[in-house]
Structure 1
Amino acid sequence: MFHKIDPELQDALTVSAPQFEQQLQWLQDHNYQTITLEHFATSLHQRKSLPDRSVLITFDDAYLNNLTHALPILQRFGMSAVLFVPTAFVGRCNEWDGCTDPLMSIDQLRQLLPTFELALHSHRHLNYKHQTAAVIQADLTENIAAFDALHLPYTRAFAYPYGGRPKDAATKQAMQQAMEQLRIEMAFRIGNRLNRLPTSNRFELQRLDIRGTDSMAQFARKVRFGKLL
């Protein structure tokens, strides 16, 4: 799970372009292969194993720097990625975080294809940990409707903003039922552990949080083993 790519800056949400290139080189050197959400969905539905060392490279929020800095590096390595888009903010900025960075417009999102697949990241970038089942269902419905209105290809896969899901069991069950009704194939939390397939819950898939403050040794350990001890 990545957020921002910058020519030089490295922080909790930002990986530098040289770092990102080094990380992709490590994946390539160690025989990891990127897969698509469609490939992953087929594996989940048919309960089939994926090829060894399969990896999804994912980005959250649709920062403009994903187009300017991540895309050319991914293309150079022949790797694919997924971008989870909060549709209310297309062409605007990260208003949930003080508008510090521009987000992509419709035309800019289109330029990512086919290297990037586009997918769902809530309409309003809501933390579902703090929402009612009704608010969550309305937001998911808006997220899908907004994507349809953009006339861009997308996959009905979802990433929870902030990794947040309801703590209340009944609310979480209602959310997952809404996802089923809306034909959302899968949903990703954070978790920082590897996914062992077949999974017991396709709405609780885990991702590894990659930070600009990670060393290469930490990156390699996360990819190999999951959560750092």
Structure 2
Amino acid sequence: MTLYLFLFLIFVFLLLYFRLHLFLFPKNRLIILMYHQVEKKSTDSLTVSLDNLEKQFKYLKDKNYSSKFFSDINIPTKKSIIITFDDGYKNNFDHLPLLLEKYNLKAVIFIPTKFIQEGYNNHPMMTFDDIRKLDPNYFEIALHTHIHENLRTLSPEAIEKDLEANMQILNHHHINYKKVLAYPYGKYPKRKKDRKIFFMVLEKLGIDFAVRIGNRVNYYPSKKYELCRIDIKGDDSIEKFKLKLIFGKLKLF
């Protein structure tokens, strides 16, 4: 009897930890995917090959995932998914429009404005003109701070100033954006007291949602400043991608 109870408790733990119970309530299940670069060939974990990305997008389309912007997040649908890309790389501009249109999907691009102004590690970045040219039927622009630093290392005043700069620069360049924030490196204040003050700053600035990494499927509605994204790596096979849509990131694969 003890063994059966133990196995039952393990089953319940796994069910809750991986949020598999959300299969019973699909309208509350929200998957947010995180990408960075797209190239013809993958060269590192942050770069997904064009071929792999197309396979992933085709799978989402074939399985009837409902691709959303954050502005659509409160519209209940089955199999809701938000596809996000960080940093504003030029290869996103080069490759994403045709793929998104082909598979009728949407993508959110989080922009750190300093990267657009000054570049980042010799990577070709989009220009503000490129960002303005993105079709709003397929792209939503959102915030990734201005300087792209770990928010755990900054004071509340510095965070507020930086996010104000992020928004002001986008406004200056006449770029429509949503007040949704992706935390640089997925980091935000860890201690409860610091986190409370930090969230007050976000509220003051009118930030609607914020995303960390977390690598888990979301139950939505949930904590609006702690939404989890699932990190899609450059070497993820289509089989691994499918598993991540169910479990998030498992250390076993």
TM-score (norm 2): 0.82
Q: Secondary structure at the match of 1:125?
A: coil
Is 1:16 aligned to residue 49 of structure 2?
yes
Structure 1 runs (4+) greater than 4 angstroms displaced: none
Q: Does 1:124 align with 2:128?
A: no
- In the TM superposition, residue 71 of structure 1 has moved relative to its aligned partner by 2.0
Asked if 2 retains the 8 angstrom alpha-carbon contact of 1:60 and 1:85, the reply is yes
CA distance in 2, matches of 1:113, 1:152: 12
Which of 68, 72, 78 is the aligned partner of 1:39? 72
Stretches of structure 1 lacking an aligned partner (at least 5 in a row): 44-48
Tell me the secondary structure at the aligned position of residue 208 of structure 1: strand
Matched, 1:219 2:244: no
**What SS does the aligned partner of 1:90 have?**
helix
* C-alpha distance in structure 1 between counterparts of 2:206 and 2:186, whole Å: 20
Aligned runs of 1:159-198 on 2, under 5 Å? 159-198=182-221
Residues 42 and 235, structure 2, Cα contact 8 Å, conserved in 1: no
2:107 is equivalent to residue 84 of structure 1: no
- Equivalent residue for 1:72? 98
Q: Is this contact kept in 2: 1:17–1:70, CA < 8 A?
A: no
Q: Percent identity?
A: 38
Distance 2:221 2:227 in 1: 11
2:126 aligns to what? 104
- RMSD, aligned CA: 1.3
* Aligned-partner SS, 2:210: strand
Amino acid at match of 1:204: E
Tell me the CA shift for residue 10 of structure 1: 4.2
Partner SS, residue 231 of structure 2: coil
Unaligned runs of at least 5 residues, structure 2 = 1-33
Kept after mapping to 2: 8 A contact 1:10/1:213 = no
- Counterpart CA distance in 2 for 1:213 and 1:149 is 38
Correspondence for 1:26: 59
Deviations 1:87-120 (A, max 9, x none): 12224421xxxx1311111111112121211000
Letter in 1 for 2:129: D
SS at 2:239 equivalent: helix
Separation of aligned partners in 1, 2:109 and 2:161: 22
The structure number with the bigger radius of gyration is 2
Q: Distance in 2 between matches of 1:153 and 1:132?
A: 28
Superposition deviation, residue 37 in structure 1: 1.1
Residue number in structure 1 paired with 2:162: 139
CA distance in 2, matches of 1:222, 1:92: 35
* Residue-pair matches, total: 217
